[in-house]
Structure 1
Amino acid sequence: MKKKIIVMGVSGCGKSSMGQRIADHYGFPFFDGDDYHSESNVAKMREGIPLTDEDRFGWLETLNGILKEQDTAVVACSGLKPEYRQLLRSGVEDLAVIYLKGDFDTIWSRHQKRNGHYFNGQSMLESQFATLVEPVDEDVFTVAIDQTIDEVFQQSIAALEQN
């Protein structure tokens, strides 16, 4: 069982709720990547403007620092590209990654039920899907989200326990 866990996927896949649930299960601290975006990043997303790589790199470095500083941690972070995941992993030992995979329609229907989140609009979600490079060749456990939250949780824990 790894002591540091990243829960990744596009906005609306359930990273925050699943990350918190996994953290609670293991008694690890939980860090929601959304809480660590700069004010300028949040302002861009509120306006429906997708973040660039440059926008994301400082944020990813902050999350990497959290992973390096903590003895145990669960971090929710989109981790859309291999280079983002590499930056998150840099210098971090004892790490597992859970990828919450879902299709656009499933995740968009979840977005439409959200209230008060700064991530704004269908075009923003389309941008995340366009940016996403699914982690197929990496040490990542993929869990499909087209099932109940309990099933997603159980599959995530089973994957973590095998590692």
Structure 2
Amino acid sequence: MTEAPKLVVMGVSGCGKSLIGSLLAQALGVPFFDADSYHSQANVEKMANGIPLTDADRAGWLADLATLIEAQEAGLVLACSALKRNYRDRLRAGNPGLRLVYLRGDFDTIWARHARRQDHYFNGQAMLESQFGSLEEPARDEAVITLDVEARPDTLVQQCLAQLGRAREDADG
């Protein structure tokens, strides 16, 4: 029996992490978690006031997420920005089989999505610009599946599942 995957669906705010992540989790039969739910109240208040988080702000949050990933023995999908390589390395600590699903999109596309959002604490164009400025796109050695956010959600899920299947075949064969 093949082990259930542990996936982090990553990218800047507004790229579709929660939607794609929840659809992937459903397709894979594993639980879905949204990293935003694990932010401290102080972090949420900073972001709501348009103040970008620092690495120090994220340290405890990343530690909690790494523990969550490790505890999910039957696999999971976690929606998490994971913008920097060192954040992803922290999530991977204790979770060597962790795979990344990077939802790549340009600023204008994602900003247009933000403009349609309501009741979300992530606040302002400067915050999104900050995320794009911090983003270190994943390298090939990070076990990454890169998807273009311009595609429809069902297409993105199918592309991801196909690539996961290929990775399993390579590991088995």
TM-score, structure 1 as length reference: 0.96
Q: How is 1:107-126 mapped onto 2 (pairs within 5 angstroms)?
A: 107-126=110-129
Structure 1 segment 8-157 matched on structure 2, within 5 A: 8-71=10-73, 72-137=75-140, 138-157=142-161
RMSD: 1.1
Aligned residues: 163
Whole-Å Cα distance in 2 between the matches of residues 161 and 110 of structure 1?
30
Output the CA distance in 2 between the equivalents of 1:20 and 1:91: 23
Code of the residue aligned with 2:89 in structure 1: it is: Q
Could you tell which deviates more after superposition, 141-150 or 105-114? 141-150
Residue ranges of structure 1 left out of the alignment (5+ in a row): none
Match of 1:112, SS? helix
Q: Is the 8 A contact 1:8 1:99 kept in 2?
A: yes
Task: Tell me, in whole angstroms, the C-alpha distance in 1 between the residues paired with 2:55 and 2:98.
Answer: 23
CA distance in 2, matches of 1:162, 1:151: 17
Shift of 1:100: 0.4
Q: Counterpart in 1 of 2:170?
A: none
What is the percentage of aligned positions where both structures have the same residue? 53
Whole-angstrom CA distance in 1 between matches of 2:28 and 2:127: 33
How far has the Cα of 1:25 moved from its partner?
0.6
In the aligned structure 2, how far is the partner of 1:3 from the partner of 1:150?
19
CA distance in 2, matches of 1:57, 1:161: 33
State the one-letter code of the partner of 1:67.
I
Question: Aligned AA for 1:79?
Answer: A
Q: Give distance in 1, aligned partners of 2:156 and 2:79.
A: 15
User: 4+ residue stretches of structure 1 with deviation over 3 A?
Assistant: none
Q: Normalising to structure 2: TM-score of the pair? A: 0.91
Q: Is the 8 A contact 1:4 1:96 kept in 2?
A: yes
